[in-house]
A and B are shown apart, each in its own frame.
Chain A
Amino acid sequence: MSLQDKYKALIEAANSGVSDLRIGESEGVLHIQGTAPTAEIKNRLWDIYGSIDPNFLTGDVVMDVDVAGAVAGSKVEVITESSNLNIRKGPGTDQPIVGKAAKGEIITLVSKANDQWWLVRTNDGEEGYSYAQYLNPVG
């Protein structure tokens, strides 16, 4: 079965809900990139993907879908598992920690250093870089 057949439901969902969509096959891996309008739609895509390939063990898809609305000056929610989110002096885990934000806290996105590291400011005025995977744009 071709990758397109196997992941038909995922491709269709991405087609109907994701903007700036980029889909392509390369060396036996299906790449899906784009921007979802909400975190719910992004999560739905991951649910579909996980139902086709449980625990993502096959590795024949690389999906990088971010969430729209994460623009400079907007609010983002801290979505760590349980712990506090580290705020660092620079973009990298080798950088010293200059502050922390609690799970569920709404903080401000100042700018994006890159896809992985965003400059944020807490309500206490602490400013530094946090890992973008733990930040969710809020409407």
Chain B
Amino acid sequence: MTIKNLVPVLLLAGTVAFTSCKSSVPDAEVKSKVEAVVTSGVTVDVKDGVVTLNGTVNSDADKAAVEAAVKALDAKEGVKSVTNNLSVAAPLPATPAPEINTADADLQAKVGDATKDFPTVQATVKDGIITVTGEIEKAKVTKLKQSLDNLKPKKTDMSAVTVK
């Protein structure tokens, strides 16, 4: 191969390198790659490889972690730079820890009283969790839930209840 023949090849190679440097990955593709690594509540916008993050996370640490995860996708994946506009949610107010009753025998006895006026449902207690089954009128659901939550269980599971 002569030098003369090599020139177009080099030119071509240069063009390819140049375009790949500029933006070889479509923005939409970059967006889906970035969305795969960010936490829920974060929205992703990509323009010419520049990634902008918006939304709310729970802490400064989460904010930094999301940015780091996106930056770990390098230029080869189409991420040129990251603009981090994430805001940090106000933390839960500093209140004393809630009381939770995990004594099954105590809960079971109280659940009997609490559900006495709701004969169409059954409630059982295991590991501090009250599980309710059966069916109940819509108008009584709140009262039932209030009565059970008043016992301060770990959880009141009414997912199996049919509301008429």
**A residues touching B (Cβ–Cβ < 8 Å)?**
1-2, 4-5, 11, 15, 21-27, 29, 31-33, 46, 50, 55-60, 62-64, 66, 81, 92-93, 115-117, 131-133
Contacts and interface: CB of A to CB of B under 8 A. Distances in A.
Interface of B: 40-41, 56, 58, 89, 92-93, 95-100, 109-110, 112-114, 116-117, 138-143, 145-147, 149-159, 161, 163
Q: Interface on chain B toward A: helix, strand, loop, or mixed SS?
A: mixed
Given A23-B95, A56-B158, A62-B100, 12 more contacts: A2-B89, A21-B93, A29-B154, A59-B158, A62-B154, A62-B156, A81-B139, A92-B109, A115-B151, A117-B113, A132-B150, A133-B150
28 contacts: A1-B41, A4-B92, A5-B41, A5-B56, A21-B93, A22-B95, A23-B93, A23-B95, A24-B92, A26-B100, A27-B155, A31-B100, A31-B152, A55-B163, A56-B156, A57-B159, A59-B155, A59-B159, A60-B155, A62-B154, A62-B156, A63-B149, A64-B150, A66-B150, A81-B139, A81-B143, A93-B116, A115-B150
